[in-house]
């Protein structure tokens, strides 16, 4: 008679633990609402579809602040909302996309579809109840001031549930902004069928090395990280890096006074 052996339970399925019902401190099951369910499905599909890669650059926003800070108080008084860094970043992004059109595109089967205009999606947090990304059409035709108005308007109407259905479709590139929460760097998930998304994180004062004719010095500057997730099926790392370099150069060197 063959020797008895212990049953092999290494691969046996383990039943999921069930939280007690009605007991004090019991876990609560909260079904996904429509927005959370749609967000979850879209995110999972995007990760399964695109070959996600992230790159980031550090940007000195001193040049932006030379224009933004003197106008900030008057802007809020007249417009009713703050003049943040986001419209400057949006404008630099739109300008850079003109030089790197493969990023303002979408994947269609085994082809890349290049879009002639930038229809910029702005990720909007619905008071922690979900996420949507409405579209600013022809964003590349707007100045910083125009983008500031458009970003505020579309975000406000999104949170109030007052956007039309067609304002959620047709985007070609997306900006995601978590900076108000102090995040350092975020690897955002691409908004399908787009090929890239730019995450804007916290901008704050940091010590940096500043080059001058008399040598290097340490200075306190407003600095933040811009991180782009891109689809490696559509573009390569060097192309994405060159685009980010262009965005940084515009933010650091462009005279923004004519944009206000």
Residue 193: is the preceding peptide bond cis (ω within 30°)? yes
Provide the token pair at 185. 């760097």
If residue 159 lies in a helix (H) or strand (E), which one and from where to where? helix 144-159
Query: Tokens 């269609």 label which residue?
Result: 108
Rounded Cα distance, 121 and 136, in Å: 6
- The question of whether 108 is a catalytic residue gets the answer no
- Catalytic hit among 115, 236, 255, 258: 236
Closest to 192 measured CA to CA, from 71, 30, 80, 51 = 51
- Catalytic hit among 33, 99, 156, 232: 232
Rounded Cα distance, 123 and 117, in Å: 19
If residue 222 lies in a helix (H) or strand (E), which one and from where to where? strand 215-231
- The question of whether 231 is a catalytic residue gets the answer no
If residue 44 lies in a helix (H) or strand (E), which one and from where to where? helix 34-49
For the annotated catalytic residues, the residue numbers are 232, 236
């Amino acid at each position: 008679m063959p020797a008895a052996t212990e049953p092999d339970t290494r691969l046996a399925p383990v039943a999921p633990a069930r939280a007690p019902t009605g007991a004090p401190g019991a876990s609560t099951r909260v079904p996904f609402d429509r927005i959370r369910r749609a967000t979850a499905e879209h995110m999972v599909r995007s990760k399964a579809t695109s070959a996600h890669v992230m790159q980031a650059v550090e940007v000195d926003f001193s040049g932006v602040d030379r224009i933004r800070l003197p106008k900030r108080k008057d802007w809020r008084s007249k417009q009713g909302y703050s003049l943040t860094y986001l419209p400057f970043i949006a404008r630099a992004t739109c300008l850079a996309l003109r030089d790197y059109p493969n990023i303002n595109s979408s994947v269609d089967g085994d082809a890349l579809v290049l879009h002639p205009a930038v229809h910029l999606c702005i990720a909007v947090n619905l008071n922690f109840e979900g996420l949507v990304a409405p579209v600013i059409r022809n964003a590349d035709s707007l100045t910083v001031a125009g983008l500031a108005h458009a970003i505020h308007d579309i975000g406000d109407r999104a949170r109030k549930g007052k956007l039309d259905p067609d304002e959620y479709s047709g985007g070609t590139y997306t900006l995601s902004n978590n900076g108000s929460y102090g995040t350092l760097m975020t690897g955002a998930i691409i908004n399908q069928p787009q090929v890239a998304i730019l995450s804007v994180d916290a901008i704050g004062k940091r010590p940096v090395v500043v080059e001058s004719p008399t040598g290097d010095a340490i200075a306190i500057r407003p600095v933040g990280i811009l991180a782009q997730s891109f689809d490696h099926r559509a573009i390569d790392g060097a192309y994405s890096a060159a685009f980010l370099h262009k965005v940084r150069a515009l933010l650091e060197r462009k005279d923004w006074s004519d944009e206000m």
